């Protein structure tokens, strides 16, 4: 059997139906073998970066391995940004990179390159993959594939890479004679875990103001059903990172909502006044805690469950103390928690829940500036609310980064079964469209939605042609504020509004009419600019069975409020409340600069 035929068959046997890439000289055999396999398809993207992001989106939507295939040199290095998305968000993907033939590898010779387009891909990708290896002999292909596949899903999931020299791709192998990979046996720690959970339940029962913080780690891998059951049994108010806003539907009685630097005030007042914070599936990033770490949930006992012990120890000596540390995969933790909740009776915490309801009513979304007279545009939050009413329960959304992500995560009203994805931790512009392509090829539901900004779309504009070619039923909603809006706001905060490279007037080049570009690439287009009822246009859009491009004219002056400026605690977002108002709303003592620990003064940088 040809070695690349073995690769294609290996992937197909594990449920992989599509791989994404760009053809090139050192990858033609992998492309050919995947294309000829009866259960696989190779999808040609217009940029290798988008191929890695499509593989990421495929993995998030399917729960299976996402696969990208590229040639050597620039083809391989173009995968890096998309691989980072998978690494930081714990998404299992496989990067298959072509490489020059083994006799053209430079080896230990002190030269930069011997073979044409030779690049040390393993060295470049090792810091942002769980495993990266160059195939050295054809006989190792089974071992390396099995090892990479195991590592991609084991523990905290993530990307892996196999660099395959051209001559080895063409080699003939005998599958029955290949050595396999045998993983080390798992250590049984259920007894220890059960004891840790018992102690945690005691702390929960003793708490007066507990909160449960859920994060995106609960989606990699997915643990929906058991999570809902445990949340309901615990009875604790639930805060959500943006990556987890779809874990509880909007009308769930325990759902408080998101919180953080760009989060709603009600969520921030909740976490800041809690006396017990239990973090599941979240690494408590700076976007959640704010830059002054010692100000975060400062009177609370913080408990954290994570399969990566380093995510818990990283705070040591930096201003946050993780007092309860449980090292476990979240699926294992919830499975061990469930039987202990069989006889659990939640204390109720009626006063605490009433206080949270007060904050939710007292702090509606901050109003944005009105559009100038005669300006044809809509309010982003109003659009997201209307979109929430149109989206069905099983909708699948991919959201880019920047203002469109903030407005969507803070304004969307999630329904049961909806799934919302983004590159939460790498947050590159241009992620959502190729990721949605990957998802659509696995699950072509007509409600699949890509939300992106004009700046983000420019980084992957050509992939509109990929959507059109395959007639993927993606509804592409362009939040068009004619600028890099979040950067404009950052410059207003830090550089007195001296704009450079954030809108056409300061150097950016945007198409005058995005819709015309989309039409030229073969897409049906709509425009939403306030001239017709938003909900009516959206209903027409989602009635279309195929792809649709919607240019949504967003008020160019709309800000991202509330927002936390560096040096402040989460309860002190801008636009600032009066000191008296903050004092009245806080249960614990408001944070002051005198409380700021020296060790925590260098934890954040300005901007997004």
pLDDT over threshold 80, residue 190: no
pLDDT single digits (tens) 314-331: 999 999 999 999 999 999
Which of these ranges, 246-260, 393-407, 555-569, has the smallest mean pLDDT? 555-569
pLDDT over threshold 60, residue 603: no
- Beta-carbon contacts of 599 under 8 Å, excluding residues fewer than 6 positions away, are 294, 317, 318, 319
Does 151 fall in a domain? Answer: yes
The string of DSSP codes covering 76-88 is HHTTHHHHHHHHH
pLDDT band at 597 (very low <50, low <70, confident <90, very high): low
Sign of the CA dihedral with 569 first, then 571, 577, and 581 last: negative
Does 460 lie in the same domain as 504? Answer: yes
What is the longest distance spanned by two Cα atoms in the chain? 77
We report the CATH number of the domain holding residue 305 as 3.40.50.1220
Q: Residues 412-434: what's their mean pLDDT?
A: 97
pLDDT band at 372 (very low <50, low <70, confident <90, very high): low
pLDDT band at 607 (very low <50, low <70, confident <90, very high): very low
pLDDT band at 152 (very low <50, low <70, confident <90, very high): very high
pLDDT over threshold 50, residue 280: yes
Distance CA 274, CA 268 (A): 10
State residue 602's pLDDT score: 37
- Looking at 177, 198, 228, the residue that finishes a domain is 177
pLDDT band at 566 (very low <50, low <70, confident <90, very high): confident
State residue 598's pLDDT score: 54
Q: Residues 345-359: what's their mean pLDDT?
A: 96
pLDDT band at 606 (very low <50, low <70, confident <90, very high): very low
Rounded to the nearest integer, the mean pLDDT of the chain is 94
Does 420 lie in the same domain as 320? Answer: no
- Beta-carbon contacts of 278 under 8 Å, excluding residues fewer than 6 positions away, are 200, 204, 210, 211, 212, 213, 236, 303, 304, 305
Does 171 lie in the same domain as 194? Answer: no
Domain count along the chain: 3
Q: Which residue has the tokens 């959970």?
A: 197
- 483 touches 458 (CB < 8 A): no
Does 541 lie in the same domain as 474? Answer: yes
Does 307 lie in the same domain as 277? Answer: yes
pLDDT band at 212 (very low <50, low <70, confident <90, very high): very high
75 — phi, psi (to 5°)?
-60, -40
Does 576 fall in a domain? Answer: no
Does 355 lie in the same domain as 466? Answer: no
Does 68 lie in the same domain as 24? Answer: yes
Crossing angle of helices 190-206 and 330-340, in 10° steps, is 60
Does 368 fall in a domain? Answer: no
Which of these ranges, 11-20, 363-372, 493-502, 554-563, has the smallest mean pLDDT? 363-372
Q: Give whole-number Cα distances, 603 to 64, 88, 213, 429, 595, in Å.
A: 36, 19, 22, 24, 15
We report the CATH number of the domain holding residue 417 as 3.40.50.970
Does 590 fall in a domain? Answer: no
Does 484 lie in the same domain as 414? Answer: yes
State residue 313's pLDDT score: 96
Q: Residues 546-574: what's their mean pLDDT?
A: 94
State residue 604's pLDDT score: 40
Does 530 lie in the same domain as 407? Answer: yes
- The tokens describing 578, both together, are 């009066």
- 152 touches 160 (CB < 8 A): yes
Domain of 266 in residue numbering reads as 190-362
pLDDT single digits (tens) 285-294: 999 999 999 9
482 — phi, psi (to 5°)?
60, 35
Does 81 lie in the same domain as 224? Answer: no
- Looking at 306, 334, 362, the residue that finishes a domain is 362
Q: Residues 477-501: what's their mean pLDDT?
A: 93
SS3 content of the chain, % helix, strand, coil (to 5): 40, 15, 45
Does 203 lie in the same domain as 162? Answer: no
Q: Residues 22-36: what's their mean pLDDT?
A: 97
Does 317 lie in the same domain as 421? Answer: no
Instruction: Count CB atoms within 10 A of the CB of residue 235.
Output: 19
Q: Residues 276-304: what's their mean pLDDT?
A: 96
pLDDT band at 369 (very low <50, low <70, confident <90, very high): low
State residue 373's pLDDT score: 62
Does 575 fall in a domain? Answer: no
State residue 277's pLDDT score: 98
pLDDT over threshold 90, residue 601: no
On the CB side of 585, how many CA atoms lie within 13 Å of its CA? Answer: 26
- 18 touches 45 (CB < 8 A): no
- Beta-carbon contacts of 170 under 8 Å, excluding residues fewer than 6 positions away, are 2, 3, 4, 29
Does 560 fall in a domain? Answer: no
pLDDT single digits (tens) 382-406: 999 999 999 999 999 999 999 999 9
Which residue did the predictor score with more confidence, 231 or 594? 231
Does 474 fall in a domain? Answer: yes
CA dihedral 516, 520, 521, 522 (to 10 degrees): 100
Return the DSSP state at 185: P
Burial state string for 541-569 with b = 16 or more CB within 10 A and e = fewer than 16? bbeeeebbbbbbbbbbbbbbbbbbeeebb
- Looking at 362, 396, 414, the residue that finishes a domain is 362
pLDDT over threshold 90, residue 220: no
Which residue did the predictor score with more confidence, 62 or 603? 62
State residue 225's pLDDT score: 84
pLDDT over threshold 70, residue 585: yes
Does 597 fall in a domain? Answer: no
């Amino acid at each position: 059997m040809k070695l690349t035929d073995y690769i294609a068959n290996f992937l197909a046997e594990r449920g992989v139906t599509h791989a994404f890439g760009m053809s090139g000289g050192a990858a033609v055999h992998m492309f050919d073998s995947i294309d000829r396999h009866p259960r696989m398809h190779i999808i040609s993207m217009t940029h290798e970066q988008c191929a890695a992001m499509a593989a990421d989106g495929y993995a998030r939507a399917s729960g299976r391995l996402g696969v990208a295939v590229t040639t050597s040199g620039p083809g391989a290095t173009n995968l890096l940004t998309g691989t980072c998305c998978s690494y930081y968000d714990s998404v299992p993907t496989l990067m298959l990179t072509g490489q020059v033939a083994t006799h053209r590898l430079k080896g230990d010779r002190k030269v930069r390159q011997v073979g044409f387009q030779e690049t040390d891909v393993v060295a470049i990708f090792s810091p942002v993959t769980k495993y990266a290896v160059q195939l050295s002999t054809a006989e190792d292909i089974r071992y390396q594939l099995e090892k990479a596949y195991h590592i991609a899903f084991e523990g905290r999931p993530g990307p892996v890479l196999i660099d395959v020299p051209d001559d080895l791709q063409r080699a003939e192998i005998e599958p029955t004679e290949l050595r396999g990979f045998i993983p080390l046996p798992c250590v049984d720690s259920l007894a220890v875990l059960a004891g840790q959970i018992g102690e945690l339940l005691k702390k929960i029962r003793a708490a007066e103001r507990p909160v449960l913080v859920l994060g995106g780690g609960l989606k990699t891998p997915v643990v929906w059903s058991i999570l809902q059951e445990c949340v309901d049994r615990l009875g604790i108010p639930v805060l959500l990172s943006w990556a987890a806003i779809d874990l509880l539907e909007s009308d769930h009685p325990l759902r408080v909502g998101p919180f953080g630097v760009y989060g709603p005030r009600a969520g921030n007042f909740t976490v800041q006044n809690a006396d017990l914070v239990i973090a599941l599936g979240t690494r408590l990033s700076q976007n959640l805690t704010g830059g002054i770490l010692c100000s975060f949930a400062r009177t609370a006992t913080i408990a954290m469950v994570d399969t990566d012990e380093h995510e818990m120890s990283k705070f040591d000596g930096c201003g946050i103390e993780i007092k309860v540390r449980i090292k476990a995969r979240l699926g294992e933790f919830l499975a061990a928690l469930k039987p202990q909740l069989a006889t659990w009776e939640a204390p109720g915490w009626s006063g605490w829940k009433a206080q949270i309801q007060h904050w939710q009513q007292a702090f509606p979304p901050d109003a944005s500036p009105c559009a100038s007279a005669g300006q044809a545009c809509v309010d982003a939050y109003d659009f997201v609310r209307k979109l929430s009413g149109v989206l069905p329960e099983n909708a699948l959304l991919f959201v880019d980064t920047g203002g469109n992500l903030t407005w969507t995560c803070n304004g969307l009203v999630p329904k049961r079964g909806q799934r919302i994805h983004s590159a939460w931790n790498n947050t590159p512009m241009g992620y959502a469209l190729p990721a949605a392509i990957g998802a659509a090829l696995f699950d072509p539901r007509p409600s699949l939605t890509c939300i992106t900004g004009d700046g983000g779309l420019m980084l992957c504009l050509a992939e509109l042609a990929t959507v059109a070619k395959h007639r993927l039923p993606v509804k592409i909603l362009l939040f068009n504020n004619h600028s890099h809006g979040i950067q404009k706001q950052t410059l207003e905060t830090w550089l007195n509004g001296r704009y450079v490279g954030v809108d056409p007037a300061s150097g950016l080049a945007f198409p005058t009419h995005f819709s015309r570009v989309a039409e030229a690439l073969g897409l049906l287009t709509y425009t939403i600019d306030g001239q017709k009822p938003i909900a009516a246009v959206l209903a027409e859009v989602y009635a279309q069975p195929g792809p649709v491009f919607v240019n949504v004219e967003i008020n160019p002056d709309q800000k991202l409020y509330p927002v936390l400026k560096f040096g402040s605690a989460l309860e002190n977002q801008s636009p600032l409340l009066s000191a008296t108002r903050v004092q009245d709303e806080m249960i614990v003592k408001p944070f002051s600069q005198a409380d700021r620990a020296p060790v925590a003064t260098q934890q954040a940088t300005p901007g997004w």
